[in-house]
Structure 1
């Protein structure tokens, strides 16, 4: 907490600069007439935000049946962040872990992991969730932040309208139409840790046709790797503990391209055609160790959408192609384990909203999806079909009470049918205050790897015969018990096989919430209390282990029949697989306060308390423990010629069990980081110079026990608009 206090003090000192700079900024503006200056300023009214992700229909803040956060385009423009991890860490309820220069994992209302599988992420309703491994690669978003209209974060289950994998939350990145971003924009920047980036965006629109083209590139060198012994592993891997593995770390290079054409065939009807790709390389951490993704790996897409009023129909295709090599795990041939991943997703979707008798707002829709796979480590998995329909009725009881009830039916390979119901009761005693009680059921489908993994890997262990001798004959020197007492490294094979019979992970979610707005919308308070009950968790476990009477191939003859080293079971696994097991309950509280005293000012504060999971039917030591406390504080001023935006993030300590086996499980310390962005606009706002710093005080930040050390990164850029 001392580190938090120091960082908080420094952050507040930085914010003291804001009033002075804003006053100076205002002084440079053109002065109005004395008559205008004498008139009192009108009361500012902050426009109510509209979101579509929570209910698949347009809703205001007091109509949304779930906890949510919206990040606007103005906030994106000035945010002290150059990746989605630093940006979304400021959202209450989200657990964010950056593990490498490119690897960012995000979960809602539970611990995240190296491959976070529970959160659905979309771009304009098009999924970028990768079903082959069941996770999200955030660098596969093909657009630049200048193109984003808003990011909608639903902090709670979304399977009732979005289907599989929207289990704990949904993030929907919504882009601007070409008509909303006309003109040309250029960005050139670079900074510490070998950071360099550039982008170009051009959009135009006529009476009926609009178009947009954008391209971008980002690169960064790797962060430092941790060294020494993984904390807390001395008891698991005696006598010294497990050293951090030494492997060549990598940075990342990320090109992207996106095209879009809109045709307004009538005032209420729009056809939209878009396509593009995003590429990446660098480190991807998994449960079987880090993979180095080859340059040239990409996710491409094509999408066409038709909108007429509230009625929407769309078709999209995603094309994934990549290769990666494991940096720690070798196959049975003694070479690094290779992962070649290729998939195609074809998706057809329809939805609409109708109002009946001025009391029922009915939203309904359907989806058909086909996934085709070609994975080197899961050769038996080739395709997966999905079909889903949903319906929800928002019933209005006068002006003060709304009751939403709905459900979705999905038929999805290989788990067959799943029903995801939800209901929410919203009571608004006044238009500016809404109380909410809700219940949701949601699910995650097993990934293709969960079902069809088929590899043999070579594991390594440190063997100390002296420990064996002490177990066989306590008090007798090793030399009198065994012929060799010199410690040695030992390599042995382990088979890792998927489980086609897995059930879906299922979540029951209970929530009580309140949203209140004050002072004509200048202040918003959001409070949510939740409990999530997860059953049939998909667990990667050691199904069989070697022992002294059935030892691994190559086990020294002189040790046959003697006890194995005094270590917990599972350190010498012979067979690994997946299973459904146990129940995990997560509960917590989320509080946020947002202030807009003037349109150019934004101040926020939020706090998340997340209790340690209540675990049944599975060893507590096998479940990640999330940070108990997370706290964010920020303030920004965005004036005519100058902006400053700063925020502070505090994340409590956590414990991680999702990489390899117990020898690699361990904690991370709490950390506090301060981020700051400054910008100056000139020449009629055609040019902007920005300075962006993350972790500006260079605090020790490790966000996963196996992750990189995330150090300070300061960059600068020039933005040109014409």
Structure 2
């Protein structure tokens, strides 16, 4: 997968910042004269997104389902991690399964490693293509340093490439010029403690910097009785960001980040004792270490043309599942251009290249056919926003063309139409073809996580049967044809309504097909007694998903803001013509709730006191099964005259504990999220 980050279409500001607004990628900018951008900073953060079109565009004018978690939302949230900030966003599914492990996706196919969701931090892809997913516990950016989070529900493939077929989450941190001085944030509670310290300064009129450090200790999840399932999760991160703007046409950013953590997880491991077939419960000592560096140069050569060059390097070392360890090294280079040709055509185009080296060492039940591998990608994209009727009707056409060394050429086109008949109403629709390229696990896996005991309902034979997942070296890409439509309404009096609906047709989904049985004294599983059953990975599955999302927000009173979000999700998996049963997918759709509802309230009581709450209901998951649950987060904050904030926070207050997610192929017992109470101190000076 090649990720290309084009230049954001903004004039680069002067060295003085008194009359500036903040570009999330390039920093403080002189306020443009264009009426579209002539808004306050608060309105700009609330209304604009750069993730849909690789340029600044108001959310109400985007032909996509977009949701922005603003800086104010982040500051008032009861969340302590980035995945928890995403709870309640329409179309987004969030569940904890293990210590440190979150399952996060958009519109279905949820998994601890959701394989069709692209996550970025300031343009750096966090997608680990070896296993197809994101390790959320490695994203330890201090929440107070986040400017906003942009969530694009639906395919972003025509600009962002493969593996963004279900959506894009773009986490944008603050420009270093906006974080001068010291920022301190400490939070301690019944289940976790965390703290972060950031310091920003100015080396010259053109050069600003920020350094940060953060630590976290978390007791993790509990069992059905409320007892800890492992020793605490503990980790920390540190990093720096430098922003240089030598003149009004050029800007550069350099970022370095390092994170490290360790934790315990209980696992159900297949018992290798031939006299006692079944499972042994072990406590796996898991750990990770990650390092990344990013450099980006942006230049605006004229009022109608700008470009950016970005380079990044990521290195991840991680051990899980009883000493299955992998080393993942990525180098990526992207060149993007934005050209406003005339009043009708506004064009983005670019090129990208990526090289990935990975190596895995595992125990007897976790192996790849080739322990080390190198993959590479080349890509190009072009997208044209065509103004058919100025400020009323716009057509967007674009495509991403990629080549990789394991599936070949991938073409991902899109067509979007936007119509604004009156200033208070916006209508849009789109059709997109997207692909998800197979992970190394799907191409080269030799995994054995389960056993079917002898003389049981699933195994009538007198010997145990050990299913073995076998990857397919010729596995092709998964294809998606997505149809979307939406509407936005300005209801007056600060109230707005955002609606979106979708229909997705997936083809060539990864499924497992029972293959040959073999005696286990042969590779790939070294057991001298029993039968192995090959589960061959094949790209022959199909599925259809559909649903709708709604977000209603406004103010009941000037001091009382509310937001009501709702998501509906449904799916159909056709019957495999060979077996007569539904396709057995590695990432089943049964892991997604049919209904999600969240109600958020923000109440200001005077100038110094506020109360914020979020009430969420998530319907049951057929996978597990996981019962429905309702959760309440509550935060009461007192703002001291010196700028400090004291908060009392309760998370998941309605139940002592509840389960949120479980996954059949991940060999772990059921674990529960516990109620927590914490206190927080924030201070900036």
TM-score range, shorter chain: 0.7 to 0.9
Say yes or no: does 1:629 pair with 2:595.
yes
Give the distance between the partners of 1:690 and 1:368, measured in 2 at CA.
Answer: 46
Alignment partner, residue 110 of structure 1: 108
Say yes or no: does 1:583 pair with 2:537.
no
Give the distance between the partners of 2:553 and 2:253, measured in 1 at CA.
Answer: 35
Alignment of 1:255-654 (within 5 A): 255-282=236-263, 294=285, 297-309=288-300, 310-326=306-322, 338-376=323-361, 377-378=367-368, 379-398=370-389, 399-454=391-446, 457=448, 459-464=450-455, 494-519=467-492, 522-545=494-517, 573-596=532-555, 601-617=560-576, 619=582, 622=585, 623-625=588-590, 626-638=592-604, 640-654=607-621
- Of the three residues 132, 135, 141, the one matched with 2:133 is 135
Q: How far does residue 297 in structure 1 lie from its aligned partner after superposition?
A: 1.4
Give the distance between the partners of 1:423 and 1:693, measured in 2 at CA.
Answer: 45
- Summarize the Cα distance change of 1:640–1:178 in structure 2 as closer, same or farther, 3 Å threshold: farther
- Structural RMSD (CA): 3.1
Q: For residues 586-621 of structure 1, what are the alpha-carbon distances to aligned partners after superposition, in whole Å with 9 as ceiling and x for unaligned?
A: 001111112146776431001111123343436256
Alignment partner, residue 666 of structure 2: none
Give the distance between the partners of 2:458 and 2:234, measured in 1 at CA.
Answer: 47
- Summarize the Cα distance change of 1:389–1:598 in structure 2 as closer, same or farther, 3 Å threshold: farther
Residues 649 and 679 of structure 2 are in contact (CA less than 8 Å); yes or no, is this contact kept in structure 1?
yes
Residues 185 and 201 of structure 1 are in contact (CA less than 8 Å); yes or no, is this contact kept in structure 2?
yes
Note the residue ranges of structure 1 that are not aligned, 5 or more in a row: 1-42, 229-245, 327-337, 473-487, 557-571, 657-665
Between structure 1 and structure 2, the one with the greater Rg is 1
Residues 66 and 155 of structure 1 are in contact (CA less than 8 Å); yes or no, is this contact kept in structure 2?
yes
Give the distance between the partners of 1:288 and 1:224, measured in 2 at CA.
Answer: 19
Residues 415 and 503 of structure 1 are in contact (CA less than 8 Å); yes or no, is this contact kept in structure 2?
yes
- Of the three residues 52, 55, 72, the one matched with 1:54 is 52
- Of the three residues 658, 679, 682, the one matched with 1:719 is 682
SS at match of 1:136: coil
What is the count of residue pairs matched by the alignment? 605
Of the structure 1 ranges 435-444 and 97-106, higher mean CA displacement relative to structure 2 is found in 97-106
Of the structure 1 ranges 141-150 and 217-226, higher mean CA displacement relative to structure 2 is found in 217-226
Alignment partner, residue 12 of structure 2: none
Give the distance between the partners of 2:269 and 2:457, measured in 1 at CA.
Answer: 30
Q: How far does residue 545 in structure 1 lie from its aligned partner after superposition?
A: 4.0
Per the normalisation by structure 2, the TM-score is: 0.82
Q: For residues 182-232 of structure 1, what are the alpha-carbon distances to aligned partners after superposition, in whole Å with 9 as ceiling and x for unaligned?
A: 121112221112x1111101111341110000010111113223489xxxx
- Summarize the Cα distance change of 1:653–1:539 in structure 2 as closer, same or farther, 3 Å threshold: same
SS at match of 2:60: coil
Residues 81 and 693 of structure 1 are in contact (CA less than 8 Å); yes or no, is this contact kept in structure 2?
no
- Summarize the Cα distance change of 1:458–1:322 in structure 2 as closer, same or farther, 3 Å threshold: closer
Q: How far does residue 97 in structure 1 lie from its aligned partner after superposition?
A: 1.7
Q: How far does residue 299 in structure 1 lie from its aligned partner after superposition?
A: 1.7
Residues 674 and 695 of structure 1 are in contact (CA less than 8 Å); yes or no, is this contact kept in structure 2?
yes
- Summarize the Cα distance change of 1:297–1:255 in structure 2 as closer, same or farther, 3 Å threshold: same
Q: How far does residue 111 in structure 1 lie from its aligned partner after superposition?
A: 3.7
SS at match of 2:84: helix
SS at match of 2:89: coil
- Summarize the Cα distance change of 1:144–1:354 in structure 2 as closer, same or farther, 3 Å threshold: same
- Summarize the Cα distance change of 1:600–1:451 in structure 2 as closer, same or farther, 3 Å threshold: farther
Say yes or no: does 1:673 pair with 2:626.
no
Give the distance between the partners of 2:458 and 2:405, measured in 1 at CA.
Answer: 49
Say yes or no: does 1:196 pair with 2:177.
no
Give the distance between the partners of 1:312 and 1:466, measured in 2 at CA.
Answer: 60
Say yes or no: does 1:701 pair with 2:658.
yes
Give the distance between the partners of 2:283 and 2:341, measured in 1 at CA.
Answer: 55
Structure richer in helix, relative to its length: 1
Give the distance between the partners of 1:53 and 1:629, measured in 2 at CA.
Answer: 26
- Summarize the Cα distance change of 1:492–1:695 in structure 2 as closer, same or farther, 3 Å threshold: same
Say yes or no: does 1:181 pair with 2:179.
yes
Give the distance between the partners of 1:385 and 1:286, measured in 2 at CA.
Answer: 34
Q: How far does residue 154 in structure 1 lie from its aligned partner after superposition?
A: 0.2
SS at match of 2:411: strand
Give the distance between the partners of 1:133 and 1:285, measured in 2 at CA.
Answer: 21
Note the residue ranges of structure 2 that are not aligned, 5 or more in a row: 1-39, 271-280, 301-305, 362-366, 664-669
Q: For residues 270-305 of structure 1, what are the alpha-carbon distances to aligned partners after superposition, in whole Å with 9 as ceiling and x for unaligned?
A: 111110112233367999999977565112101111
Give the distance between the partners of 2:381 and 2:564, measured in 1 at CA.
Answer: 36
Q: For residues 324-379 of structure 1, what are the alpha-carbon distances to aligned partners after superposition, in whole Å with 9 as ceiling and x for unaligned?
A: 243xxxxxxxxxxx311101110101212111221111111111111011112323
Give the distance between the partners of 1:401 and 1:345, measured in 2 at CA.
Answer: 41
Residues 488 and 497 of structure 2 are in contact (CA less than 8 Å); yes or no, is this contact kept in structure 1?
yes
Per the normalisation by structure 1, the TM-score is: 0.78
Residues 142 and 258 of structure 1 are in contact (CA less than 8 Å); yes or no, is this contact kept in structure 2?
no
Give the distance between the partners of 1:424 and 1:466, measured in 2 at CA.
Answer: 51
